[in-house]
Amino acid sequence: MKQTYQTTLQSPVALSGIGVHSGQEVRIVLHPADANHGIKFLRTGLSNNRERLIEARHVTVSATALCTVVGDEEAGSVSTIEHLMAAFTGLGVDNVLVEIDGPEMPILDGSSAPFVEAIDQVGLVEQSAGRRYVKVLRPVRVENGKAFSELLPNDRGFRLDVDIDFETSVIGRQRMVVDLSPSVFRKEISKARTFGFMSDVEKLWKIGFAKGSSLENSIAIDGDKILNPEGLRYADEFVRHKLLDAVGDLSLAGLPLLGTYRSYCGGHKMNFLVLEALFADRSNYTIVEVPAAREKVMLEARSARVAPAYAPEMR
């Protein structure tokens, strides 16, 4: 599905919570932004009352080991951005300034659902500028042992085909294929939570990570058991969350993608590397826009609508 015009939020909206790795309380405010602004993070609360503006693009990524991090620790960074970025991409939000007063996004319930609810609370407004896309022209692929991630041409929209394979019987092999749209993202993807193994979490605790991890924001797996008393939100919640992460990570292309993404046993690092491979050669992609802003003005003049040109569009 191709969205015709750029969108932003109708008004600011705030959320707060703790970071899953830092355990620190953090507050974010999502601000409307002008057309062609893109998604940017305004990192506040730095030493000497400094602030730093960080573009949400693959060129600003500094780490992908446990989550996706933009910026750098010395000058200012924001980590665990993938769930918020997935919500923006999933709902078709193009232009937002994300003000954040700490080093890590709040984990909330471990999914994108709270961000979706916040965006729905204020609604979206359509802007006059035509939406631009990164159109994949040639296949690009990265591999790491048995794992791979690839981007393939697809003129019709953005398709994701995600395949995971874990030894534990709780997960096993799961695959999900979707053509991304706001309705599909809301219903099939947004509520899927992050997950981890207790053996890994205990190791992370010892080295100062996962300080905010709990059964309130993560699916915990211990051997062949799920520790969360409420169980799973979907029978295949694990692959759905991996797909959610991929939506968020691939949004760092800077513009929505026209293409098909496929992965097997991928993750944040593989998602980042396939974007690097895409942009490494200009013949791999092109930028397309549909339609030009002036075409909207002409269409509106001909239709003689009574509604204002920038009436909000709720999603």
Could you tell me the CATH number of the domain that includes residue 120?
Answer: 3.30.1700.10
Count of structural domains, the chain: 1
The catalytic residue among 21, 31, 58, 268 is: 268
User: Can you tell me which residue has the tokens 């500028």?
Assistant: 129
pLDDT tens across the length of the chain (315 residues): 578 999 999 999 999 999 988 889 999 999 999 999 999 999 998 988 899 999 999 999 999 998 999 999 889 999 999 999 999 999 999 999 999 999 999 999 999 999 999 999 999 999 999 999 999 999 999 999 999 999 999 999 999 999 999 999 999 999 999 999 999 999 999 999 999 998 887 777 777 777 888 999 999 999 999 999 999 999 999 999 999 999 999 999 999 999 999 999 999 999 999 999 999 999 999 999 976 444 444 444 444 343 333 333 333
Q: Quick check: is 244 in a domain? A: yes
Could you count the other beta carbons within 10 Å of the beta carbon of residue 4?
12
What pLDDT, on the 0 to 100 scale, is given for residue 200? Answer: 83
| Cβ within 8 Å of residue 218, ≥6 positions away | 20, 107, 110, 193, 194, 195, 196
Binding-site positions for Zn(2+): 83, 241, 245
Binding-site positions: 83, 241, 245
Bridge partner residues of 246 (DSSP): none
Q: Quick check: is 295 in a domain? A: yes
Q: Quick check: is 91 in a domain? A: yes
Sequence letter at residue 268: H
Q: Quick check: is 311 in a domain? A: no
Q: Quick check: is 46 in a domain? A: yes
Query: % helix / strand / coil in the chain, to the nearest 5?
Result: 25, 35, 40
Q: Quick check: is 216 in a domain? A: yes
Q: Quick check: is 312 in a domain? A: no
Bridge partner residues of 220 (DSSP): 196
Q: 223 lies in which domain range?
A: 5-306
21 is annotated as an active-site residue: no
Q: Quick check: is 261 in a domain? A: yes
What pLDDT, on the 0 to 100 scale, is given for residue 298? Answer: 44
